[in-house]
Structure 1
Amino acid sequence: MTKQHFLNSIAAPKPTTLVGFFYLMHMPDKDPQNYSLLTYLAFTGFALWGGLVTHIQHIRRHKKKFLWREAMMQVAISGFAGMLTSWLCWYMEAPTPLAGFMAGTAGFMGSRALELFEKRFSKFVE
C-alpha cells in the first residue's frame, strides 16, 4: 500500500458517495498558501495547547508549583514542533484534519518531537 493510497483511504470521502463527489470537486491543491489563516491558527493553537497540557501534566506529576515562565518556554517549544509538523504534513500531502492532529500531537511531545526530527534529519544528511 502506497503512502498516498493509505492517506486517501483514512481521510477522504469515497467518490462514489454524494459527499465524496463534492469533496473531490472542491478539494483545494495541497499548497500551504491555499490554507486559510484559520487553518494556520488552528494548527498553531493545537500545538500550543499540547504544550500547555504537557506542562500541566509535568507539574502535577512532580508536584511542582506552576510558573508562567516555564509554561511559556514549553509552549514556545511546542509551537515550533507543531509548525514543523504542519509543514511536514503539507509535504507528505496529508489531509488537513490529519495535519491538525499531528500538529497537536507534536505540540504535546514538544522537545521529544524535535529530537525525533533531528534523528531523522541527521540520517538523511549523512
Structure 2
Amino acid sequence: MIDAFFFLFVTLWPVLAHAVTDKSPELYGVLTYTWVIGIAALGGVTSFVSKVQRGEARAYNIVELIGELFISAFAGVMTFYLCELIDLPPLASAACVGIVGHMGSRGMFVLEKTVERILKGKLKLTIEDKEK
C-alpha cells in the first residue's frame, strides 16, 4: 500500500503542489533545478565517500556511486518542493536539500513520513498501511 501511495504521490505531485499553492514545479528555472540537484548530489557523494571510509562500499564501484547520486538528487528535489511549499528561506532550503541528499534513501523515508503528515493535515486524507 505504501508503494502504491508513493507512486501516486510522485506522479501526482505537480497537481497536488498546484492545488495547494500558487507554486508549481514547472515555474522554476533550469538554474534552480541545477543548484538543487547539484547540492543533493554533493550530499550523495559525501555519503558514498563516508561509506567507502567505513568499509561499507568499495571505492571503485561506479554503479553504487551512480545509484547514490540518483537517489540523492531525487530526494533533494522532493525536499526542495516541500521547502517551497512551506515558504522556507532559500538558505534553509539549500541546507535541507544537502542534508537529505546526504541521507539518500533514509532521507526518502523521512520525506515519505513528512508528506504523509502534510496530506493528513491539509487534505484530511487517511493513509493506512495494510502490510502491518
The TM-score normalised by the length of structure 2 is 0.64
Aligned match of 2:39: 46
**Would the aligned equivalents of 2:100 and 2:107 in 1 still touch at CA under 8 Å?**
yes
Aligned match of 2:81: 87
Aligned match of 1:65: 58
Give the CA deviation at 1:31.
6.5
CA distance in 2, matches of 1:36, 1:76: 20
Could you tell me which runs of 5 or more consecutive residues in structure 1 were left unpaired when the two chains were aligned: 1-28
Give the CA deviation at 1:45.
0.3
> What percentage of aligned pairs have identical amino acids?
31
Letter in 2 for 1:43: V
Alpha-carbon RMSD: 2.2
Which of 63-72 and 75-84 deviates more? 63-72
CA distance in 1, matches of 2:95, 2:52: 24
| Cα distance, 1:98–1:34 mapped onto 2, change above 3 Å | farther
**Would the aligned equivalents of 2:48 and 2:57 in 1 still touch at CA under 8 Å?**
no
Q: Secondary structure at the match of 1:117?
A: helix
Letter in 1 for 2:38: G
| Cα distance, 1:96–1:34 mapped onto 2, change above 3 Å | farther
**Would the aligned equivalents of 1:32 and 1:90 in 2 still touch at CA under 8 Å?**
no
CA distance in 1, matches of 2:85, 2:62: 34
CA distance in 2, matches of 1:83, 1:59: 25
Aligned match of 1:107: 101
The alignment of Structure 1 onto Structure 2 pairs a total of residues equal to 98
Aligned match of 1:56: 49
Please say which structure displays the higher CA radius of gyration.
Answer: 1
**Would the aligned equivalents of 2:40 and 2:76 in 1 still touch at CA under 8 Å?**
yes
CA distance in 2, matches of 1:63, 1:31: 39
Could you tell me which runs of 5 or more consecutive residues in structure 2 were left unpaired when the two chains were aligned: 1-21, 121-125, 128-132
